[in-house]
Amino acid sequence: MSTDVTPAPVPNFEETGSERTMVFICSKGTLDMAYPGLILANAALGEGIAVHLFFTFWGLDMITKKRMDSLRFTPLGNTATHMPQGLGGLPGMTSVATTMIKRQIASVGVPEVPDMLEQIVASGGHLWACRMSTDMMHLGKGDLYDGVEDILNASDFIEMTEGAQVLFI
């Protein structure tokens, strides 16, 4: 063995992340806007970070049993699809676009929204529903995905997540 070979470093798995809490406020109910929060929350959990997701307004669709399997995507008003804007309003276009984007998401090995939620809960993430939104939409805890821990009002949620890093999506 040559003398200049040194012992290998050991990755520091313990120190980063252990004191960190991240909060993702999910406020959108379209398929494309459901994913950013779920992907980031899942990644944060994998880094040993405590994670809370708060579902509010249209984001409630992500955790409503009747709707969570059928979130949709529309190219309307979304210039990033690089389609003529008029096409987005044609009958049936939302279904076509939803099928296409679902296929693209699946092609990179990313699961559907309910499966993402299941993985987040299995990884120790916490799911909360917004009180005002559930009241507005006449939903009770029984209407929500089983992994949702509770329905909270905004101030309880703010209190509970003191010191956390917050992402509003």
The site for other proteins (CB under 8 A) is made up of 1, 5-11, 13-14, 17-18, 39, 42-43, 46-48, 108-111, 116, 119, 122-124
Q: What is the DSSP string of 51-116?
A: EEEEE-GGGGGGGBTTTGGG-----TT-GGG-S-GGGGGSTTHHHHHHHHHHHHHHHTTPPPHHHH
Dihedral, CA of residue 138, residue 74, residue 97 and residue 64, to nearest 10 = -20
User: Which residue's CB is nearer to other proteins, number 48 or number 88?
Assistant: 48
Task: Name the minimum Å distance from CB 17 to other proteins.
Answer: 7
Dihedral, CA of residue 127, residue 139, residue 114 and residue 30, to nearest 10 = -100
User: Which residue's CB is nearer to other proteins, number 40 or number 160?
Assistant: 40
Residue 32 three-state SS: helix
Task: Name the minimum Å distance from CB 123 to other proteins.
Answer: 6
Task: Name the minimum Å distance from CB 76 to other proteins.
Answer: 27
User: Which residue's CB is nearer to other proteins, number 11 or number 86?
Assistant: 11
Report, in angstroms and rounded to the nearest whole number, the Rg of the chain calculated over CA atoms.
20
Task: Name the minimum Å distance from CB 8 to other proteins.
Answer: 4
User: Which residue's CB is nearer to other proteins, number 10 or number 80?
Assistant: 10
